[in-house]
Amino acid sequence: MQNYSRRRFLFVSAAASGALLVGWRGARAQALPYLGAREEAQALGAFVRIEKNGDVIIGARATEIGQGVKTSLPMLIAEELDVDWNRVRVEQLPYGYIDTDKGPSNKYGDQGAGGSDNIPSAWKELREAGATARALLVQAAANKWDLPKENLRTSSGQVIAPDGRTLGYGDLVEAAAALDPPKEPPPLKSPEQFTIIGKPTKTVDAADIVTGRAQFGIDAYLADALIAVILRCPQLDGTVDKLDDAEARKVPGVKDVFMIAGPKPDEPIDGALANGVVVLAENTWAALKGREKLKVEWKAGPWAAESNSALAAKANELLDKDADAVPVRKDGDFAKAYKSASSKHEARYEMPFLAHATMEPPGALVQVQKDKALLIASLQTPSRASQTISNLTGIARKDIEIRLTRAGGGFGRRLKNDFVAEAVQVAAKTNGRPVKLIWTREDDLRHDFYRPFGVHAMRAGLDKKKKVIAWSHRCAATPRNYRDSGMKSAPLYIGCIEPQDFPAGLVANLDKTFFPIASGMPRGWWRGPIHTFHAFAVQSFIDELAIASKQDAVQLRLDMLGPARKLQFGAPDDSGYDTGRLAGVLQLAADKIGWKEKRSDGHGIGIACHFTFGGYCAHAFEVSVQGKDLVFHRAVCAVDVGRPVNPLGLEAQMIGGTIDGISTALNLAITVKDGQVQQHNFPDYPLLRMAQAPKNVEVHIVESTEDPSGAGEIGIPSVAPALANAIYAASTVRIRKLPMMPELLRLL
Amino acid sequence: MPEKPVRHAKPIAVPPVAQSAKEPVLPLRINGKAFFHNGDPDMPLLWYLRDVLRLTGTKYGCGIGYCGACTVLVDGKAQRACLTPAKAVSGHEVTTIEGLAGNSELHPLQQAWIDEDVAQCGYCQAGQIMAAADLLRTTPHPSDDDISKITNLCRCGTYPRIRKAILRAADAMKK
């Protein structure tokens, strides 16, 4: 994430209609006091707008990708504003770029979606925005009644005097808009006073979604927009050798055909992802038909020989030889402790490349004019999209308008803006005419920034009392930072193995080492990225250790976690992770699945837990293998993300994370052969269907008074290992390679 | 300033994309209204709905009839609009998510979807609802296995709440 200036000022002003607006602007004038002075508001530039008739409109700043922030963030504002949630209308704010003395900033704060950080970053600042608006309304009422403001209270959009008189917020907006905002942020409610936070709250866009009115990026149209599709080189870093577009140009509705440049081999992939041929047409169908008629001969690039089998062989070779090692973490002396251990265990686990496969594929509607540009698209980082457009066009970022829509899934795919870059490159050739770039599913699966491929080699030594005294986790993988200019200085292991994750700090002699494998596959973040990638190995291996040493798999984890205490996670001053909370969700999931109860009839139960992004989660499954089918009998998820802002949304994230985890673990892999991705569309990248999914996911939310953390990613890392452990319990087949179903059928 | 995009897939504020006038005109009935398609009769219904009529509730997901994001009703029966040429539905009644409720504000399925808070990203949900509408037409009291016959994909994993919403709507429609 870009380092924005954190200094922002709240502003207060009246709209032309007389409405009260409370918003932020950047730290431009240093002389202004904290919380700023009066300033004319931009049209939409406000978190809160209260009309004279009492209508309350709250601006939603973050990009909604299905994680529920368009509902949960406005709840934070509404809570402190003290309004009736049923009377609140939520509107999506556009991207809020502003220039400041200190460089680029954003008048709404962080609008991106990544790292599950929307809720934690908004927890204080958005409540303060709501509290400021409320303070102004109270002050306006105090002035009107000539009473001290301390004697007044608010409830459901009204200010209430000690004698019972009331004034609706709508009656106060004109007077409030004339007041200067408070010099200090007003005090926030104590949690006992919450009426909105913690209450199950439905998705604000639900009615629009079920009636087809909700707008996603792909739904944006401009009157004279041309549709673009691109035939991209199927080979990694390949180029166009020969192009014959004569037939394509004959398709009615096709307007133009031209080439588009991808990145040069070994240069960062900051723009388009691949070399290709653009077909511009009057409508999508004509564009697609035109593309089918293209005759292109491709020239293979430097990765023409790349294949999954070679990558796996290379990974195992590096691990066998202990070659090209990049140290990640060393505690104590692993080699010595392992040598002295009374029992030794080892296993390797293989993880495939994964595509994001958002239901709404990438795409963008772009208009580039001489000195301004417009983008409407489903995004996860509007700030980087704005940078991309500015870099490619030279247009100043303040002159780039970005309208945000709901996104049909994100999962990390839209942290990249290659599709925006493509649309801009195309729009540069249309003389100001807008261009709508459409990606098909085939484009999407074959041109993604994939989750890395890798092999985890685990070793552990136990002493006579069956205590884990030595732990080694060596990971050979395709480094995540490949051709990523934002990660140039990041260590090679970032994105594949996490130095501080469980069981770091819990085993005296610990070694984590990384072995980079060269690959031409573009790589990116994939929901709970590092964590889904390595928790499978860690939590499967623990299960194997427990079984091999005849210990209870839950108790072994609890023993390792030890007494409740905080371990460092992230920077030394970050809040760290609490072994007690991790033990808590593990125990809760174990209790709910009935861990101690013996299963019969071929049923097996498995469990796993994980901590990341401030959240704690455990999964437990009860499954059986019937013929060639895996049958789910129960799916349990226990989660602790601190105080839940919206329990209904949190439950949805856990159900979704669980099913996404199952879907991915069972069937999904991207494979590469001859330098080309082998998958084409959903039949060979088969997301789970309803019939294959558990009918119910039992979600148990830990009551907590800790500050909330995000929930978009914590629901997935513990799924795959819990499932593998359950399959072992049911069938004694140990799955050490994902996806599971092909492995299960091979091993049965 | 460029023209704003159509925010809602209601009556069109933007002129339909110009088509070649040489093509024969194809009469279509969509959500109870008559339309005349003067473009390529092979254009999939999906793109006719979206690019021409700007009825954007019907979504593109895979283009091969696999994921169901584009599910519409043709004479009440669920059909993948991405594989249905416009000419194939001439003479038939097409219903999209925008027309599902008819003259009511919401179809019981739409209400149930809201009540169960089904949607996460929301992209596939129109197709899921259309598939469920067909299911309830033929099977007013669906079992779990009946519901399992819906093959629409949801990447967010909303299936458990979809199941609940279908049962809730079935209940509501019984009354």
Q: In terms of Cα–Cα distance, which of A435, A437, A423, A363 is closest to A392?
A: A423
Contact check, Cβ <8 Å, A357/B155 = yes
A168-193 pLDDT, tens digit per residue, is: 999 999 898 888 888 788 899 999 99
pLDDT band at B15 (very low <50, low <70, confident <90, very high): very low
Q: How many CB atoms lie within 10 A of CB A86?
A: 6
Nearest to A441 among B8, B52, B63 (CB): B63
Residue A135 scores a pLDDT above 80 = yes
Cα A191 → chain centroid: 28
- Contact between A659 and B159 under an 8 Å Cβ cutoff? The reply is yes
Residue B44 scores a pLDDT above 80 = yes
pLDDT for the residue A679: 98
The total number of residues written for chain B in this structure: 175
Give the Cα separation of A480 and A531 in Å (integer). 13
Mean pLDDT of B111-116: 98
Q: Which residue of A has its CA nearest to B66?
A: A682
Cis peptide before B27 (omega within 30 of 0): no
Q: Which residue of B has its CA nearest to A654?
A: B157
Give the Cα separation of A599 and A631 in Å (integer). 15
Q: Which residue of A has its CA nearest to B18?
A: A282
First to last CA, chain A: 46
Contact check, Cβ <8 Å, A683/B66 = yes
Give the Cα separation of B52 and B17 in Å (integer). 6
A681-703 pLDDT, tens digit per residue, is: 999 999 999 999 999 999 999 99
| Residues of chain B positioned with their CB less than 8 A from the CB of A652 | 117, 120, 158, 161
pLDDT for the residue A492: 95
Mean pLDDT of A66-79: 95
Give the Cα separation of A438 and A417 in Å (integer). 14
Give the Cα separation of B39 and B25 in Å (integer). 8
Give the Cα separation of A533 and A213 in Å (integer). 37
Query: A226-232 and A604-612: which strand pairing?
Result: unpaired
Mean pLDDT of A612-625: 96
The CA radius of gyration of chain A, in Å to the nearest whole number, is 27
Nearest to A207 among B19, B114, B149 (CB): B114
What mean pLDDT, rounded, does chain B reach?
Answer: 90
First to last CA, chain B: 51
- Contact between A232 and A274 under an 8 Å Cβ cutoff? The reply is yes
Measuring CA to CA, how many Å separate A354 from each of A351, A363, A489, A671, A687? 9, 20, 25, 9, 12
Residue A621 scores a pLDDT above 60 = yes
Mean pLDDT of A418-429: 97
Residue A580 scores a pLDDT above 70 = yes
Residue A43 scores a pLDDT above 60 = no
- Identify the residue among A202, A208, A210 best suited for mutation to test binding to B, counting B beta carbons within 10 A and taking the highest: A210
Q: Give alpha helix (H) positions in A501-566.
A: 529-548, 553-561
A445-485 pLDDT, tens digit per residue, is: 999 999 999 999 999 999 999 999 999 999 999 999 999 99
Contact check, Cβ <8 Å, A359/B14 = no
Mean pLDDT of A17-31: 54
Contact check, Cβ <8 Å, A284/B126 = no
Contact check, Cβ <8 Å, A359/B7 = no
pLDDT for the residue A523: 97
Q: In terms of Cα–Cα distance, which of A456, A457, A512, A453 is closest to A478?
A: A453
Structural tokens at position A576 = 């760290």
Q: Which residue of B has its CA nearest to A374?
A: B2
| Residues of chain B positioned with their CB less than 8 A from the CB of A653 | 120
Q: Which residue of A has its CA nearest to B153?
A: A689
Nearest to B150 among A408, A409, A690 (CB): A690
Nearest to B114 among A206, A227, A689 (CB): A206
Give the Cα separation of B17 and A344 in Å (integer). 69
pLDDT for the residue A178: 85
Q: What whole-number percentage of chain A has pLDDT above 70?
A: 95
Residue A549 scores a pLDDT above 90 = yes
**Residue owning tokens 């709840």:** A75
Query: Residue B86 carries which DSSP code?
Result: G
Mean pLDDT of B37-48: 96
Mean pLDDT of A628-645: 97
Give the Cα separation of A679 and A657 in Å (integer). 23
Close Cβ partners of A460 (under 8 Å, ≥ 6 residues apart)? A344, A345, A346, A468, A470, A471, A472, A541, A545
CA distance to partner chain A, nearest, from residue B46 (Å): 9
pLDDT for the residue B6: 39
Mean pLDDT of A82-96: 92
- Contact between A45 and A23 under an 8 Å Cβ cutoff? The reply is yes
pLDDT for the residue B12: 40
Asked which of A8-22, A310-324, A721-735, B75-89 is least confident by mean pLDDT, the reply is A8-22
What mean pLDDT, rounded, does chain A reach?
Answer: 92
Give the Cα separation of B127 and B148 in Å (integer). 15
| Residues of chain A positioned with their CB less than 8 A from the CB of B156 | 66, 359, 409, 656, 660
Mean pLDDT of A518-545: 96
Mean pLDDT of A262-289: 95
Give the Cα separation of A616 and A564 in Å (integer). 14
- Contact between A513 and A326 under an 8 Å Cβ cutoff? The reply is yes
Q: How many CB atoms lie within 10 A of CB B102?
A: 10
- Contact between A178 and A136 under an 8 Å Cβ cutoff? The reply is no
Contact residues, B window 17-46, toward A, CB-based 8 Å cutoff: 17-20, 39-40, 42-44
Stated as kind and residue range, the H or E segment containing B99 is none
Contact residues, B window 92-121, toward A, CB-based 8 Å cutoff: 96-98, 100-101, 106, 109-110, 113-114, 117, 119-121
Residue A637 scores a pLDDT above 80 = yes
pLDDT for the residue A243: 98
A704-740 pLDDT, tens digit per residue, is: 999 999 999 999 999 999 999 999 999 999 999 999 9
pLDDT for the residue A16: 62
| Residues of chain A positioned with their CB less than 8 A from the CB of B148 | 690-691
Query: Residue A450 carries which DSSP code?
Result: B
- Contact between A222 and B17 under an 8 Å Cβ cutoff? The reply is no
Contact check, Cβ <8 Å, A215/B56 = yes
- Identify the residue among B30, B155, B164 best suited for mutation to test binding to A, counting A beta carbons within 10 A and taking the highest: B155
Nearest 5°: the CA angle A148, A149, A151 is 75
Q: Give alpha helix (H) positions in A365-492.
A: 382-393, 418-427, 441-446
Fill in the amino acid letter for B13.
Answer: A
Structural tokens at position A455 = 């092999």
| Residues of chain A positioned with their CB less than 8 A from the CB of B161 | 652, 655
pLDDT for the residue A576: 86
Nearest 5°: the CA angle A90, A96, A100 is 145
**Residue owning tokens 């055909």:** A257
Give the Cα separation of A247 and A211 in Å (integer). 40
Give the Cα separation of B55 and B73 in Å (integer). 14
Structural tokens at position A572 = 């030394």
Inform me whether the C-beta atom of residue B147 falls under 8 Å from chain A C-beta atoms. yes
Give the Cα separation of A548 and A551 in Å (integer). 8
- Contact between A514 and A475 under an 8 Å Cβ cutoff? The reply is yes
Residue A505 scores a pLDDT above 60 = yes
Angle between helices A719-731 and A529-548 (to 10 degrees): 30
Inform me whether the C-beta atom of residue B72 falls under 8 Å from chain A C-beta atoms. no
More confident residue, A99 or A557: A557
Residue A383 scores a pLDDT above 60 = yes
Contact check, Cβ <8 Å, A209/B122 = yes
Residue A9 scores a pLDDT above 70 = no
Residue A281 scores a pLDDT above 60 = yes
Q: Which residue of B has its CA nearest to A371?
A: B1
pLDDT band at A647 (very low <50, low <70, confident <90, very high): very high
- Identify the residue among B17, B31, B130 best suited for mutation to test binding to A, counting A beta carbons within 10 A and taking the highest: B17
Structural tokens at position B80 = 């993948």
The total number of residues written for chain A in this structure: 748
Nearest to A409 among B60, B96, B121 (CB): B121
Contact check, Cβ <8 Å, B117/A202 = yes
Give the Cα separation of A360 and B154 in Å (integer). 11
